Amino acid sequence: MTTRAILLAGGLGTRLHPLTQELPKPMVPVLGRPWLEHLIERLAEAGIADIVLSLRHGKDVVVEHFSSNPPRGVRLRYAVEPLPLGTGGAIRFAAGAVAGDDGPFLVFNADVVQTFDTRGLLAFHRQRRAHVTIALVEVEDPSAYGAVELDAEGRVLRFVEKPRPGETTSRLVNAGIYVFEPEVLRWIPPGREVSVERETFPALVAAGLKVYGCACQGYWKDIGTRQRYLELHRDVLAGRCPLPVPGTSARPGVWLSEGVTVPPSAQLVPPVVLGAGTAVEEGARLGPWVVTGAGCRIGAGAQVSEAVLWDRAQVGARVVLRRSVLGFGTRVGGGVVEEALIAAEGR
C-alpha cells in the first residue's frame, strides 16, 4: 500500500516579510534550495510516494517550481484552498485530492525543518492502532508552544496551551507532524477555518478516541524568524542538522560550487558556502557562517559574516553586513554598515 502525505504549504510567513511577501515560507532557500524540495526528497527516501501540497499564499511559485523541477519517484498533486481554512480545514480539503484511498496518511507543517524518522512514526501509529498520532519534540521551555501530557503508553491525556510555570511537568510539544486515519476527517467541519491543534485534537481526546504522542529524535526548528533561519544554516554547517551541503569542499569548512571566483586577496573564514557563479572581489572578507546562493556578488573590501544571501544578491564595495538575510536579487549599496537586516527586492 502506498503511504500518502499532505504537506501544509500555504501559510503567509509574516515574520519573514519582506522575503515571504510573495514566496511561501516552505519555499525559502535552505543551502540554496527551497526547503520544500529538501522535504519532498527526504519523504521519497522514506518511501512516501504520493504527496499532496496544500497551497494558498504563493501557490503559483510552488507549482511553477515543481513543474520545472519534478521530484523523482513521487506523485505530486496540488490542493489550492479557496479561502483560508486553518490547519484542520486545509487537511480536510487536501484529503479530497486522495479521496477513496485507504489507510493512514501523514501530515506535515511544511515550514518546519526536521529530520525525524518517518518510518518509525508510522510504525508507532500502527502498533498502537491509533486514530491520530502526533509527533512530539522535547524543548527546554514549552511555554511558547503548548505542552502535551501522555500516559505511560504514549496516549495523550491533555494539551496545556502555553503553560505557566508549574502548570505541567511535560516538556513535549507538538512538532507539526501527524499520522491520521481517514475516519478522523469527519471530525473536521468542512468549508471553514479549523485549527487541528486547538479544536480537533482536544475534541478527539475528549471523545475517547485513540490519540497518541510519539516523542521523536532528530533535528527540529521552525524557521519563521530571521534569527531562527540563520540558526538553521549555522546548525547545518556545524553538523547539528544533517542536510547536504552543496559544492565541493575546497578545505575544511569551505564549500565552493562551480564557477566561483575568489581572488588571492580575499579571505574566506570558515564555515563558508559559496553558490555557483558567485564572484568575490579583491580584499573582501566572508565568514564565518556565510551561505550564498547562485550568482551572488561580493564587492571589494566588503565584510560579510553570519549571513545568508539568496540567488543573485549583491553586496557593494566596503559594505559591512552581519546577521542578515538578503533575498533574490537584493543589492546593498557601497560603504554602509548593516546589522540584522532582512531585505528583498524581487526574484
Q: Read off the pLDDT of each residue in 318-327 and give the average, rounded to a whole number.
A: 96
Quick check: is 231 in a domain? no
Among 88-97, 231-240, 246-255, where is mean pLDDT lowest?
Answer: 88-97
pLDDT number for residue 41: 95
Q: Could you tell me which residue, 268 or 342, shows the higher pLDDT? A: 268
Domain count, the chain: 2
Among 57-71, 87-101, 269-283, 333-347, where is mean pLDDT lowest?
Answer: 333-347
Query: Among 172, 187, 222, where does a domain finish?
Result: 222
Quick check: is 79 in a domain? yes
Quick check: is 227 in a domain? no
Q: 43 with 184, same domain? A: yes
CA atoms within 13 A on the CB side of 308: 23
301 touches 337 (CB < 8 A): no
Coil, strand or helix: which one is 70? Answer: coil
Q: 42 with 153, same domain? A: yes
> Does residue 164 carry a pLDDT above 90?
no
> Rounded CA gap, 85 and 98, in Å?
18
CATH code (residue 265): 2.160.10.10
Q: Could you tell me which residue, 73 or 234, shows the higher pLDDT? A: 234
Q: Which residue from 340, 325, 275 is spatially nearest to 13, judged by alpha carbons? A: 325
Q: 97 with 188, same domain? A: yes
Q: 217 with 276, same domain? A: no
| End-to-end CA gap in the chain | 40
Q: 26 with 102, same domain? A: yes
Q: 25 with 156, same domain? A: yes
> Does residue 235 carry a pLDDT above 60?
yes
149 touches 160 (CB < 8 A): yes
Q: 218 with 251, same domain? A: no
pLDDT number for residue 347: 39
Q: Which residue from 171, 161, 225, 157 is spatially nearest to 197, judged by alpha carbons? A: 161
Q: Read off the pLDDT of each residue in 208-235 and give the average, rounded to a whole number.
A: 96
Quick check: is 230 in a domain? no
> Rounded CA gap, 110 and 130, in Å?
23
Q: 253 with 125, same domain? A: no
Among 101-105, 258-262, 282-286, where is mean pLDDT lowest?
Answer: 101-105
Q: 71 with 147, same domain? A: yes
Quick check: is 18 in a domain? yes
Q: Could you tell me which residue, 112 or 143, shows the higher pLDDT? A: 112
Q: 214 with 319, same domain? A: no
Quick check: is 237 in a domain? no
**% of residues, the chain, pLDDT over 70:** 97
Q: How confident is the model at residue 100 (pLDDT cuts 50, 70, 90)?
A: low
Could you tell me the pTM of the whole model? 0.93
The one-letter amino acid code at 84 reads P
Quick check: is 235 in a domain? no
Mean of per-residue pLDDT scores for the chain:
93
The 8-class DSSP code of residue 58 comes to: B
* Cα separation values, 149 from 97, 134, 173, 221, 260, Å: 33, 12, 9, 21, 51
Q: 191 with 249, same domain? A: no
> Rounded CA gap, 51 and 40, in Å?
8
Domain that holds residue 95: 3-222
- Taking only the tens place, the pLDDT of each residue in 201-217 is 999 999 999 999 999 99
Q: Read off the pLDDT of each residue in 238-254 and give the average, rounded to a whole number.
A: 97
> Does residue 1 carry a pLDDT above 70?
no
> Rounded CA gap, 124 and 211, in Å?
12
> Does residue 346 carry a pLDDT above 60?
no
> Does residue 5 carry a pLDDT above 80?
yes
Q: 18 with 154, same domain? A: yes
> Does residue 102 carry a pLDDT above 80?
no
The 8-class DSSP code of residue 262 comes to: -
CATH code (residue 14): 3.90.550.10
125 touches 212 (CB < 8 A): yes
pLDDT number for residue 99: 57
Quick check: is 215 in a domain? yes
